[in-house]
Amino acid sequence: MARFVFIVPPLTGHVNPTLSIGAELLARGHEVAWISMDQRLESMIPSGGEMLFINHTSADLEEQETGRYLDIISKKIVYGVESIKFLYEEVLIPLNRHCYKGIMRNLERYKPDLVITDHEFFAGAIAAINSEIPYVTSVTAPAAIKVMDELPKVYEWEHNQIVALQKELQLHIDKSIACSPLLNLVFTSREFFGDLIMPSHYHFVGPVIHQRTTIGTFDWQKLWQIKGETRILITIGTTFDHVHKRSFFSKVIEAFGNTNTVVIIVSDPELFEEWPENFLVQSYVPQLELLPHLDAVVCHGGHNTVCETLTSGIPMVVIPIAYDQSNVAGRVVSVGAGLRLNFNRFKAKHLQAAVAEILSNNSYKQAAEVIQQSFYEAGGTARAADLLVNLHLNKSNLCLNSYS
């Protein structure tokens, strides 16, 4: 049996796949732990797993301020390529810098056989190499590895940011270690990822969707009471909970208010004093349970929301805002599973027309179902666990944990 450790940032979409894979490894008799700064994770890890917190000593004065970098994400409004620059300079690089010592201490204590670290938690890979432990990368936002082909200048800039951090943390390698030279678990299918040719140690295992713990209540009774021919879900994520949401949902109300469409909105109900009678507005929505009852989804292009929607074979309208969402939206359009609108320019009539198109033209649903099948065939949780176990068993390969 092997001892595995997942190193995860305090971001839900990056954590959830590791919970499913970890539970599978535990069921097979392995030891599994999670290293994180997020105290909430302790109540989420599967039975038998161990929680290793990134704690800081009294001497780690800068590291103790790690949490403040996460608050910035929801308070700063950025778009397009500028959002990538912001993400690295103001969030990812300082967050990784300030988690490094805590990760090193936990690796020294736990002594895992194999580290699985998130592709945006570079400190995990740096710590693994400096601790002489082989590591695997979990790629929860596959668009990040497409940047090198689609936006070479952005990729070069990202690469330089990561290499500078590596050298600061005493890893003198002139190549980014963000992706493992041993194994990269890419949480999408080859069909949805696109035509970019990747090395053989990149494995497309499909979305690993974790059944989330209930964090709120949902009014199912009210949903069934609202009469309508179609049901659509509209969500633009939790990251952008600022004044822009009011403008966005004003257009949604104009497009669908008092129509024959049941509209489920994920938002603070108090954003407006009143909502149309055909709207159900809730802060929490059990998305996985709700999707089978929907006809379409309107979203911001978050990778998790898009994958969960396509896993249910549902077409969508994607309105990307920042980060990797533009790439994800592009893939939805490329595979024919939906349409795309511009967040800053679309009007209510554009949203209304886009939703009408994906509902009336069955080709969008058929395309979504093709990707749904590709996700299923990719193998998901079981295949990811197989790859990890097989890598550990084939110990002769582990010496390849090198960028020489």
DSSP string covering 170-232? T---SS--SS-SS-EEESS-HHHH-S----TTEEE-------PPP-S---HHHHHHS--SEEE
Question: Do 234 and 124 lie in a common domain?
Answer: no
Q: What confidence category does residue 154 fall into, taking pLDDT thresholds of 50, 70 and 90?
A: confident
Residues 167 and 228 in one domain: no
Residue 212, in any domain of the structure: no
Residue 273 within any structural domain of the chain: yes
Residues 370 and 345 both lie in one domain: yes
Residue 154 included in any domain = yes
Within a domain: 329: yes
Give the model's pLDDT for residue 293.
96
Which runs of consecutive H residues, i.e. helices, occur in 50-142? 68-75, 80-86, 93-110, 122-130
353 and 396 share one domain: no
Per residue in 77-126, pLDDT tens? 666 667 778 888 888 899 999 899 999 999 999 999 999 999 999 999 99
Enter the tokens of residue 209.
């969707």
242 with 150, same domain: the answer is no
Question: Which domain range does residue 296 map to?
Answer: 220-376
The answer to whether residues 172 and 248 belong to one domain is: no
Region 224-247 average pLDDT: 83
Note the pLDDT of residue 226: 95
Together in a domain, 199 and 234:
no
The answer to whether residue 214 sits within a structural domain is: no
Residues 202 and 232 in one domain: no
- pLDDT at position 192 is 95
> For 9-32, how does the pLDDT look when each residue is reduced to its tens digit (9 = 90+)?
988 889 999 999 999 999 999 999
**Domain check: are 224 and 258 in the same one?**
yes
Over residues 229-240, mean pLDDT? 85
The total domain count for the chain is 2
Residue 158 shares a structural domain with residue 266: no
The whole-number average pLDDT for the span 140-163 is 81
Asked if the structure places residue 296 within a domain, the reply is yes
User: What's the CATH number where 363 sits?
Assistant: 3.40.50.2000
- pTM of structure: 0.89
Q: Write the pLDDT tens digit of every residue in 62-79.
A: 554 555 555 555 555 666
211 falls within a domain: no
| 55 shares a domain with 178 | yes
Residue 143: predicted pLDDT: 79
According to DSSP, the β-strands at 316-318 and 135-139 are: unpaired
Are 123 and 20 part of one and the same domain? yes
How much is the pLDDT for 210?
Answer: 73
**Chain segment 182-233, per-residue pLDDT in tens:** 999 999 999 999 988 899 999 999 999 876 665 668 999 999 999 999 999 9
Measured CA distances, 159 to 11, 121, 297 (Å) = 22, 14, 35
